[in-house]
């Protein structure tokens, strides 16, 4: 600890020495020169309102800050003990530190590429950089034309064009129309003695009368307007109710200030009903487990003659048992015996029952016998040839159906578009797929192939988040043995159960 602190101290000393060395070189007689004169003009009248005599230090031109503040009619102050010059813009002061490149604008620190200077008690800042970083803090427009040695000031003040106040469902909205946009940093809200005040720096009350305001409110009974100074207009609103929360928006076009006051917690019955329906939609109270294949459709075949349809049913039964035991959630299986169910009917079963999550269980197969592990799919255009191949194999089940005319003339692209148009749960399906992939990885020997997307007919039309899980490769000798073990079935079931728990907690707790 002592060695580390010593290193930090040495580094601080080096940085301090380097800074002073830089300033010393910058202010050396050979580099410090009398600069040119910059004129400050009023853009509208063209009249000169001030002049700045600059100094040249190296390749940088510096302006005197006291003369600048006086010319633009914003008070300037010097804090000698802290070596600071302060441009006293109301609610948004600019603080310049001598021999330091950092400038504080309001509550934000901004950096110039070179430090400000102090010479014979006068503070100087690099013209180009300083004028640029304070531009948005000024109550007027400033343009620096370096080539013409001119600073243009546009002082037209924004006028208050109207005030409208309306009670809303959960509070009150105040809208203040302006003649030109206001920068958010030039608007200051305060609340005292039952009054809400809005101070507009650069604002002008002009001919606006408070009794011209349009009020449709039980929250505010009086409005007052006053021009606090040449550059600051104040609007006051007497409150009849306690404000619990307020929010301010500054609109550029048309120029307007919107002040939202939340004064009570009452929510309309219709809105409460809508919220309750939304909660019910995300209440995970029925899981649909779909064991792939079945009956006259054996699915993929293992090298020892095992059938995918047998494994998927056993795994699905174990998933059902674990979910009902640990999560106390109802589980519906699209088949609970060795029978054939058309792909399109599986989604209909889930929809009719009011399922909240659809999980189709499968075992993958590939000519490359070395491939192992799981893959989780959700609906979407296939990004890889492997994903497309898997979807084509699973979709080929339609050859066992009595009629496959319902799938006619559906190219992959047309099918995906149709499915996505029907299913508004793709985002949630992808999120659940990612959770399940993580849980499967934590329980399996092989990492698998993660989350992929492809067009599966079995997922088409399910009105709930839906995924297809390829649990392992039946074409791989090691995976084929795993598929036949109770331990593997339990691992998959626990992964699915934990994924549902996380997915449920996320969506149910969000409402």
User: b/e per residue, 222-246, with b = 16+ CB within 10 A?
Assistant: ebebeeeeebbbbbbbebeeebeeb
Angle between helices 308-326 and 486-509 (to 10 degrees): 50
Domain 279-509 sits in CATH 3.40.1180.10: no
Cα 278–chain centre separation? 22
Angle between helices 486-509 and 426-441 (to 10 degrees): 140
- Six token digits for residue 34: 């009398």
Report d(CA 346, CA 462) in Å as an integer: 9
Three-state DSSP class for residue 46: coil
Three-state DSSP class for residue 454: strand
Q: What are the boundaries of each domain within the chain?
A: 31-154, 158-262, 279-509
Q: What is the CATH number of domain 31-154?
A: 3.30.457.10
Q: How far is CA 139 from CA 153, 162, 183, 253, 495, in A?
A: 10, 21, 8, 19, 60
Report d(CA 103, CA 100) in Å as an integer: 8
- Tell me which architecture the domain covering 158-262 has in CATH: Sandwich (2.60)
Q: In the β-sheet with 195-201, what is the strand arrangement from edge to edge?
A: 187-192, 195-201, 232-239, 220-229
Contact indicator for 94, 79 with CB cutoff of 8 Å = no
Tell me: the pLDDT tens digits for 361-412? 999 999 999 999 999 999 877 667 776 777 777 766 656 666 555 555 545 5
Helical ranges in 134-292 per DSSP H: 269-282
Q: How far is CA 319 from CA 139, 148, 200, 240, 346, in A?
A: 66, 78, 64, 59, 18
Three-state DSSP class for residue 90: coil
pLDDT tens sequence for the chain (511 residues): 444 444 445 545 444 444 444 454 444 444 678 899 999 998 767 789 999 999 998 889 999 999 999 999 999 999 999 999 999 988 889 999 998 999 999 989 999 999 999 998 999 999 999 999 998 888 888 999 999 999 998 877 778 989 999 988 778 999 999 988 887 878 889 998 899 999 988 788 888 888 888 888 888 989 999 988 777 889 999 999 888 889 999 998 889 999 999 876 555 666 667 666 766 666 899 999 999 999 999 999 998 999 999 999 999 999 999 999 999 999 999 999 999 999 889 999 999 999 999 999 999 999 999 999 999 999 877 667 776 777 777 766 656 666 555 555 545 554 455 455 445 688 899 999 999 999 999 988 677 899 998 878 888 778 889 999 999 999 999 999 999 999 999 999 999 999 999 999 887 765 5
């Amino acid at each position: 600890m002592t060695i580390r602190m010593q290193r930090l101290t040495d580094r601080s000393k080096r940085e301090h020495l380097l800074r002073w060395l830089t300033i010393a070189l910058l202010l050396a007689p050979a580099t410090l020169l009398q600069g040119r004169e910059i004129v400050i003009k009023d853009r509208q009248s063209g009249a000169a309102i001030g002049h700045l005599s600059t100094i040249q230090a190296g390749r940088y031109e510096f302006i005197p800050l006291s003369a600048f503040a006086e010319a633009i009619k914003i008070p300037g102050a010097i804090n000698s003990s802290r070596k600071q010059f302060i441009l006293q813009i109301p609610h948004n002061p600019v603080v310049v530190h001598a021999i330091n490149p950092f400038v504080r604008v309001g509550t934000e620190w901004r950096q110039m590429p070179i430090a400000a200077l102090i010479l014979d008690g006068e503070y100087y800042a690099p013209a180009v950089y300083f004028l640029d970083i304070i531009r948005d803090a000024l109550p007027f427009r400033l343009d620096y034309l370096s080539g013409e040695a001119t600073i243009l000031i546009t002082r037209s003040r924004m006028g208050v064009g109207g005030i409208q106040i309306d009670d809303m469902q959960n509070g009150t909205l105040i809208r203040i129309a302006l003649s030109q946009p206001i920068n958010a940093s030039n608007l200051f809200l305060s609340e005292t003695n039952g009054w809400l005040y809005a101070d507009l720096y650069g604002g002008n009350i002009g001919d606006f009368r408070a009794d011209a305001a349009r009020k449709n409110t039980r929250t505010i009974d009086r409005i007052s307007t006053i021009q606090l100074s040449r550059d600051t207009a104040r609007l006051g609103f007497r409150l009849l109710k306690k404000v619990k929360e307020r929010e301010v928006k500054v609109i550029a076009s048309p120029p307007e200030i919107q002040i939202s006051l939340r004064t009570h917690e009452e929510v309309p019955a219709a809105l409460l009903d809508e919220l309750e329906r939304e909660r019910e939609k995300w209440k995970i109270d029925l899981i649909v487990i779909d064991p792939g294949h079945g009956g006259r459709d054996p699915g993929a075949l293992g090298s020892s003659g095992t059938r995918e349809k047998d494994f998927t049913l056993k795994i699905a039964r174990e998933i059902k048992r674990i979910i009902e035991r640990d999560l106390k959630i109802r589980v519906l299986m699209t088949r609970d015996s060795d029978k054939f169910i058309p792909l399109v009917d599986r989604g209909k079963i889930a929809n009719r029952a009011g399922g909240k999550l659809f999980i189709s269980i499968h075992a993958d197969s590939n000519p490359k016998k070395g491939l192992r592990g799981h893959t989780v799919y959700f609906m979407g255009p296939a990004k890889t040839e492997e994903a497309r191949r898997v979807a084509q194999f699973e979709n080929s089940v339609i050859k066992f159906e009595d009629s496959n005319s319902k799938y006619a003339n559906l190219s992959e692209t047309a099918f995906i578009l149709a499915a996505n148009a029907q299913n508004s749960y793709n985002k949630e399906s992808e999120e659940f797929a990612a959770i399940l992939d993580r849980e499967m990885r934590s329980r399996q020997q092989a990492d698998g192939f993660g989350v992929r997307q492809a067009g599966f007919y079995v997922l088409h039309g399910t009105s709930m988040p839906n995924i297809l899980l390829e649990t392992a490769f039946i074409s791989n000798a090691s995976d084929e043995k795993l598929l036949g073990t109770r331990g593997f079935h339990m691992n998959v079931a626990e992964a699915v159960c934990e994924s549902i728990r996380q997915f449920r907690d996320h969506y149910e707790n969000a409402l």
